[in-house]
Structure 1
Amino acid sequence: MRLVIVADTHIPARARDLPEAVWSAVEEADVVLHAGDWIGTDLLHQLTERSRRLIGCYGNNDGPDLRAALPEVARATLDRLHLVVVHETGPATGRERRLATAHPDADVIIFGHSHIPWDTTTPRPDSGRPLRLLNPGSPTDRRQQPHPTFMTAIIQDGALADVELHQLPSPAKARAR
């Protein structure tokens, strides 16, 4: 099962559309996961139409229309893998412990808000099951990061594999071409 993982798209505030590389990945994916800060509902409608399956939550910058359409925390089980999608997770310090406590059944937690890519795996002393935390950064608003980013991954036999952070051209480099 092929996944595309995005967050903090901020469309139309920071960009008019997703970069073509993200749309290409969406077309090939079985599931698209979006961890909030959509800004406008147009992208929600486009991803719903163009993806096979969309799982997402709203973020702190999303208004009433998106909050009515999306949960604050989305949960899904894909091939026995328990996923949680949430926008805000608080400070980096203590994040793994905080999220393991808040979501004890999760195998993978996808989050956004910081625009900073994150990929950690932490053991859980109580269950022995590891917890994977992923933040794809932002494909449209890189802030202090060198590149806009998104992630892809594979779920196979109930496990997450082949997690890849994709760096996109920065907007200045893309315009220069």
Structure 2
Amino acid sequence: MPTRLLLIADTHVPKRARVLPDEVWRAVDEADVVFHAGDWVDLALLDVLEQRAARVIGVWGNNDGRELRARLPETTRLELDGLRFAMTHETGPAAGRERRADDAFPDTDVLVFGHSHIPWDSVSPRGLRLLNPGSPTDRRRQPHRTYLTAVADSGSLRDVTLRRL
């Protein structure tokens, strides 16, 4: 059975937004797995997300303090529906990102990351899919706040959709 994915990052709750937008909570309810690529800022969001979501996979980001770092890894790896995922908060500058990711994550099909608040969807020379959902709460210099949805299905990633808020 296909696995419905929700990818978010850089929520910065409650500093940049008091709460996640209602649309994101609806997406949480519909997802089988929620990925959060760091910069939660407050432990309370992790607690609520873990209570509400079917499954949460998270990492800490540069704005996350000691409590979040105690509960979450800096980088995580897992397999879902025949796809090898990795997630980390920061991947460095855009220039050369795909080649660096190939070197750092050789046994990975999909790399989820955050930090920049800039949506990103590319494929490395080796075929690694790199996805940054942007931020659902802080658009910075982007035209919209964003998140991603996708489906993992028998070894393939399909229906990758950037959602604008």
Short-chain TM bin? over 0.9
- Which residue pairs with 2:148 in the alignment? 151
Q: CA deviation at 1:75?
A: 1.0
Equivalent-residue separation in structure 2 for 1:80 and 1:155 (angstroms): 8
Equivalent-residue separation in structure 2 for 1:98 and 1:165 (angstroms): 24
Q: Which runs of 5+ in 1 are unaligned?
A: 125-129, 169-177
Q: CA deviation at 1:49?
A: 0.5
- Which residue pairs with 1:132 in the alignment? 129
**Deviant stretches of 4+, over 6 Å:** none
Equivalent-residue separation in structure 2 for 1:151 and 1:117 (angstroms): 9
Equivalent-residue separation in structure 1 for 2:153 and 2:107 (angstroms): 19
> How does the TM-score come out when normalised to structure 2?
0.97
Q: Supply the AA of the counterpart residue of 1:154.
A: V
Equivalent-residue separation in structure 2 for 1:54 and 1:76 (angstroms): 12
The counterpart of 2:20, out of the listed 6, 18, 21, is 18
Alignment of 1:165-176 (within 5 A): 165-168=162-165
Q: Which runs of 5+ in 2 are unaligned?
A: none
Q: Supply the AA of the counterpart residue of 1:119.
A: D
Q: Deviations over 1:33-77 (max 9, x none)?
A: 000000000110011011111001000000000000000001110
- Which residue pairs with 2:88 in the alignment? 86
Is the partner of 2:85 in helix, strand or coil? strand
Equivalent-residue separation in structure 2 for 1:70 and 1:101 (angstroms): 23
> How does the TM-score come out when normalised to structure 1?
0.91
Task: Say whether 1:36 aligns with 2:35.
Answer: no
Q: Which one has the largest radius of gyration?
A: 1
Equivalent-residue separation in structure 2 for 1:118 and 1:162 (angstroms): 15
Aligned-pair Cα RMSD in Å: 0.6
The counterpart of 1:99, out of the listed 98, 101, 118, is 101
The number of equivalent residue pairs is 163
Q: Deviations over 1:85-135 (max 9, x none)?
A: 1000000000000011001001000000000000001231xxxxx110000
Is the partner of 1:104 in helix, strand or coil? coil
Equivalent-residue separation in structure 2 for 1:99 and 1:5 (angstroms): 18
Equivalent-residue separation in structure 1 for 2:99 and 2:90 (angstroms): 15
Task: Say whether 1:55 aligns with 2:52.
Answer: no
Equivalent-residue separation in structure 2 for 1:98 and 1:123 (angstroms): 10
The counterpart of 2:117, out of the listed 115, 118, 124, is 115
